[in-house]
Structure 1
């Protein structure tokens, strides 16, 4: 059975994992793309409304152009009748045949002018009408000619104006389409960038939460959960290397208890106790080998996973270095109180089940404490079946 460590209040100093997690929580508020999408949608709606207005205006201008073309065709027909009338006007009055032709030309001109008058009167645009006085065959030819010229000049100017308006509106539509395309593309790229940034930040926060769940918040050492995960990984690797977990290669756990640590808390306060734990944890990290892992089990108890060793003397040397670390930290802080008791269990020689390594090392550590403390001992091998 594992011993339950009594809980106590631990105040983590600034810079520990819990502090970093709190800062990570503050970074969760990543502005989403919703405001950008709303603004882009508003711009698109305004652009589409503008396009609809321009397209409607272009169709209207094209209809006006078609009507102007009809009026100018009527003007051309009336101009042809006017030219015929002018060519017959100066003939001899005694020439009956030519006089008849002139009257027919005037009647033709009056009919053309009447048709032009009706067309102008039905125009969807506000336009000056053809004077009614020139619609009679008996009207002065000069007045009829002046009215025709005035009508032609007005409608030619209107044709030029509507053509320029259509060209300008088509150009405006093309510019608007380019702007809308650029807006959509820009919003898409920006949204993708924001999405990627949010994913990176969430991934970083997730990593920090995972780090916090597997590490002691005060010392930064791996916790019990990470220790057992590493123990299982080491046991699986051991089985893969030798093909038989009872071969010569072994793994071990050193269970460390700080003798006299409770007196530090009672005498100097929890703040000094916390500083001692942080300092000794730092020394542990510097002392253990690169492939090994030291973890804080809870309170003043630690465990060291040795993933591979060749002999018990190698484990004894590691245990002695741990004891020295504790003594040096105690001397550095001027306490003269804290020492270390260490129990050592190895797999598969002293424990047939690697899940019992921590419990066996813990039990052996208690044997050391009963026999004088500040020392280490190896777990006894189980009796053969």
Structure 2
């Protein structure tokens, strides 16, 4: 009586390779760097604009400092003239020579004050001008001295203010440069991190694609491509002497009566059988051996190392038992196994012909009654 395996114990994968490709491609969607790059670019532009304004202000402050220096030089020259006038101010009226020198000192002071007033009037900044009354030779020396002292105090304070402003703006520029450098460094680190993350995802997807290309999508067993790659690797190891005098063998397995399962019970039950027997094959083979699904109801087992034909016979018997146990579990009483065995280099002298030789031997078993195994004849 047919007894189907519960869906809890066997799950038929319905996902095709195409749907798997679409699924893994969806995982590569890494958040794009556009928002980060846009924000960083905006910050950089704002920072550069701020720097440009600060540099312009620094140049302007430096020009102001130079102009203040010119005014203070003019003040010092006027102060020199004032000192000369003050030294001759108390000259007796009878001393005509010193009186003449005093008048010349007053004229020189008036000229210096006029030059200072003209320089202050041309100032690019708002500054208090000298009173016009102090420029006349008739003005008292006290008025001229008071105006000169006021001008000196104001322009000296202006020089200190301009110097402090330049220092503050230079400090602001340095802080801005540090901030912009941090932004650029952060963007670079973030971009490298996103690039590394994307590469890891692409590597994972590439590995999954490779895994899908080398394995049967339904049973999860290696496919024909993986089998031949492993066969070539094992043969090359033999040729290099890495395994001494060891041999390799291929067991070609065909499920007798499997077509009747599909015809009688449907392909879903047939797929369940293939999945279940594949699971038993994996549990039955040795760790270093490889069992692959060639296609349909045909499998192949690569034995990478064995000591005698008796060892291969034991493996073949385990495979036959796996098929019988799966058939009994599902209550089919239909499926058995025919196995052809070929080994290299004793029975087959070319490892590329191992699978074909084992396949031919498997058909010999089928013609002789099925549900058994046989060894390929020696070359």
Using structure 1 for the length normalisation, give the TM-score.
0.85
Q: C-alpha distance in 2, partners of 1:118/1:262?
A: 115
Question: What CA distance in whole angstroms lies between the structure 1 residues aligned with 2:301 and 2:157?
Answer: 98
What SS does structure 2 have at the residue aligned with 1:58?
Answer: helix
Please tell me whether the aligned partners of residues 12 and 275 of structure 2 are also in contact (alpha carbons under 8 angstroms).
Answer: no
Count of aligned pairs: 369
Partner of 2:344: 347
Post-superposition Cα deviations, 1:102-137, rounded to whole Å, max 9, x if no partner, equal 323321221111010111122222322222222111
CA contact (8 A) 1:16 1:220 kept: no
- 2:187 maps to 187
1:23 and 1:242, CA in 2 relative to 1: closer, same or farther beyond 3 A? closer
CA distance in 1, matches of 2:287, 2:248: 15
- Equivalent residue, structure 2, for 1:356: 353
Instruction: Report the aligned-residue RMSD.
Output: 2.8
Whether the 8 Å contact between 2:54 and 2:173 is mirrored in structure 1 is yes
Deviations 1:233-287 (A, max 9, x none): 22222233399xxx97432211111222223333333333222212211111111
Q: What secondary structure is seen at the aligned counterpart in 1 of 2:340?
A: strand
Label 1:280 to 1:141 Cα distance change in 2 as closer, same or farther (>3 A): same
| Residue of structure 2 in register with 1:220 after alignment | 220
- The 1:169/1:14 distance shift into structure 2, 3 A limit, reads farther
Q: Which range is displaced more, 146-155 or 249-258?
A: 146-155
2:28/2:202 contact within 8 Å kept = yes
Structure 1 portions without partners, runs of 5+: 1-10
SS at match of 1:308: strand
CA displacement 1:188-226 (0-9 Å, x = unmatched):
333333322222222222222111111111111110011
Which moves more between the two structures, 314-323 or 22-31?
22-31
CA distance in 2, matches of 1:141, 1:369: 137
Deviation, 1:172, is 1.0
Inter-CA distance 86–226: structure 2 relative to 1 (3 Å threshold): same
1:60 is aligned to 60
- For 1:294 and 1:112, the matched residues in 2 are separated by 110
Kept in 2, the 8 Å contact 1:326–1:340? The answer is yes
